[in-house]
């Protein structure tokens, strides 16, 4: 697939004319090849989203696979095919939340020093796919890491979906099952906490599509 076509497929959905809609329709009708094309189109985006939240390649790969397996099983229940991207991200969000809950539960039964294995080593980070490796090296995301930790859970989720995963307000609204006005409120609150570092905020705005 050419870069221009790939760019168009990754563009935010706009009404019923989402470029991936024909593939979704074929996949819903039972075409495995169409679903395979959807996997090819979105697996890098989903992996990146999951990896940033888990920080381990193995867990990110497993969760990404689970996301598409669940999507395949439940695709027939998707009513609006143009919402496939946001629907896929909503599955990923829930799988990451399940993973974090399970990790917290398991930590209750681990020795106090077991947490040393949670963060990947520098060698592990260098082994990530090129897109992830580049992302983790960007000074911008190193600078905002500490600020992200100060956001509420919803502010953090909205912020990351908008600036890291590059979803539109409409797509975030659909993925989180919240109104667009609610999403805008949480995004505004998150950005307000960045205003103490105006250069970081300006860089974020420049990264927006």
What tens digit of pLDDT does each residue of 60-87 get?
999 999 999 999 999 999 999 999 999 9
- Quick one: which H or E segment has residue 58? helix 57-74
Averaged pLDDT, 6-21: 56
Report d(CA 208, CA 194) in Å as an integer.
15
Q: Give the pLDDT confidence of 103-161 residue by residue, as tens digits.
A: 766 655 555 444 444 444 444 433 454 554 555 445 555 666 767 778 898 999 999 89
How far is residue 136 from each of residues 63, 100, 209, measured CA to CA in Å?
Answer: 20, 21, 19
Tell me what pLDDT residue 103 has.
76
Report d(CA 200, CA 63) in Å as an integer.
31
How far is residue 58 from each of residues 39, 41, 64, 120, measured CA to CA in Å?
Answer: 18, 21, 10, 10
Q: Give the pLDDT confidence of 187-196 residue by residue, as tens digits.
A: 999 888 877 6
Across the chain, mean pLDDT equals 77
Higher-confidence position of 175 and 139: 175
Report d(CA 64, CA 50) in Å as an integer.
7
Q: Give the pLDDT confidence of 161-171 residue by residue, as tens digits.
A: 998 888 999 99
- Domains of the chain with bracketed CATH: 1-118 (1.10.1740.10), 138-209 (1.10.10.10)
- Give the residue among 91, 164, 156, 159 at the shortest CA–CA distance from 132: 164
């Amino acid at each position: 697939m050419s870069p221009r076509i790939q760019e168009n497929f990754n563009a935010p959905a706009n009404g019923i004319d989402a470029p991936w809609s024909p593939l979704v329709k074929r996949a819903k009708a039972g075409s495995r090849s169409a679903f395979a094309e959807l996997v090819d189109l979105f697996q890098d985006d989903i992996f990146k989203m999951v990896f940033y939240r888990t920080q381990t390649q193995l867990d990110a790969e497993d969760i990404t696979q689970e996301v598409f397996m669940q999507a395949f099983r439940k695709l027939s229940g998707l009513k609006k095919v143009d919402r496939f991207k946001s629907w896929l991200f909503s599955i990923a969000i829930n799988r990451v939340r399940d993973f974090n809950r399970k990790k917290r539960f398991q930590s209750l039964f681990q020795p106090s020093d077991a947490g040393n294995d949670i963060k990947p080593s520098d060698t592990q980070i260098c082994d990530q796919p090129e897109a992830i490796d580049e992302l983790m090296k960007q000074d911008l995301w190193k600078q905002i890491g500490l600020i992200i930790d100060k956001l509420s859970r919803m502010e953090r989720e909205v912020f990351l979906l908008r600036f890291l995963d590059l979803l539109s307000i409409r797509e975030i609204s659909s993925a989180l099952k919240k109104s667009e006005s609610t999403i805008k409120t949480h995004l505004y609150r998150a950005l307000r906490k960045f205003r103490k570092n105006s250069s970081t905020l300006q860089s974020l705005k420049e990264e927006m599509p």
